Amino acid sequence: MADEATLVFPQSLILAGAGKMGSALLESWLSLGLPGANIGVIDPHPSPALSALAVQHGLTLAPHPLIAQVLLLAIKPQMLDKAAPALQHYVDGRTLIISILAGKTIATLRHHFPHAGAIVRAMPNLPASIGLGITGAVAGPELTQEQQAFATTLLGAAGSVEWLDDEALIDAVTAISGSGPAYVFYFVECLSQAGVALGLPQDISERLARATVEGAGGLLMHETGIRPAQLRENVTSPGGTTAAALEVLMAQNGLAPLMEQAAQAARKRAAELAG
């Protein structure tokens, strides 16, 4: 979560698209203290929850055209062509555009918003909805220091941000942290199935697997100074049960090459979907 001392809020922010990810970001900004009066939200069908937030925090829904300091795009990627013309009214050379649209490159965004000041392309992930997201971000060349601070504050509100120098690496971010939560959910399924194969009742095995991943995740968050490999070694006694299992997982054809193959498949698909 962003450090309060480094928070830099824009005076005028337009959020385009208040679906799952847009709403998660919006709620994180409000809980961080970004004044609702600074925020306009554009969404064709505001949910009851969004309407309630608007009343509670003084957000403007469907704001009249104004030049925003930041326009954050959280619509579906395939909606960009249709949405961009109406959004031009909020953009001029002072506006930072932050896009979380999967696969939409900075060049494509620039094509849609030729008059924008700067563009940041970001890839958040699902745990943003509980404030534990991580976002990879890359900036076009025009980004000012103040705009980078806006982007770090807004994207970091729902977790943390990693800035990258090379846009090509965004597809790798998608393959690791973007798609990663699903890999972990699948790991829980596999661990639970393994328990059933050893004779545990299905429901108990699933609770054991789930709580183990939650607890191990909690330890990773708590022990941030200790590398994962060290945490693993700390719980692996030579000749013990964990070591026996890790010998299988860490074999030459074990989890590492499989994980690499999976991440490469995700990156390839991200590149295919880009445009």
Ligand X SMILES: NC(=O)c1ccc[n+]([C@@H]2O[C@H](COP(=O)([O-])OP(=O)(O)OC[C@H]3O[C@@H](n4cnc5c(N)ncnc54)[C@H](OP(=O)(O)O)[C@@H]3O)[C@@H](O)[C@H]2O)c1
Applying CB under 6 A, which residues contact ligand X?
16-22, 42-45, 74-77, 79, 82-83, 100-102, 123-126, 178
CA angle 69, 19, 77 (to 5 degrees): 75
C-beta of 124 vs 195, nearer to ligand X: 124
Cβ atoms of 32 and 157 within 8 Å: the answer is yes
Residue nearer to ligand X on the CB measure, 117 or 124: 124
| Smallest distance from ligand X to CB 53, Å | 14
Q: Single out the residue of 104, 230, 126, 102 nearest to residue 183, CA to CA.
A: 126
Nearer to ligand X by Cβ, of 36 and 77: the residue is 77
How many beta carbons lie within 10 A of that of residue 86, not counting itself?
11
Residue nearest to ligand X (CB): 19
Q: At closest approach, how far in Å is the CB of 213 from ligand X?
A: 19
- Nearer of residues 76 and 111 to ligand X, judged by Cβ: 76
| Closest separation in Å from C-beta 87 to ligand X | 7
Name the minimum Å distance from CB 45 to ligand X. Answer: 4
Least separation, in Å, of the C-beta of 67 and ligand X?
Answer: 18
User: Which residue lies nearer to ligand X by CB, 10 or 178?
Assistant: 178
Nearer to ligand X, 179 or 192 (CB): 179
Short-list 13, 53, 42, 271, CA closest to 155 = 13
- Give least dist CB 246 to ligand X, A: 31
Strand partners, 207: none
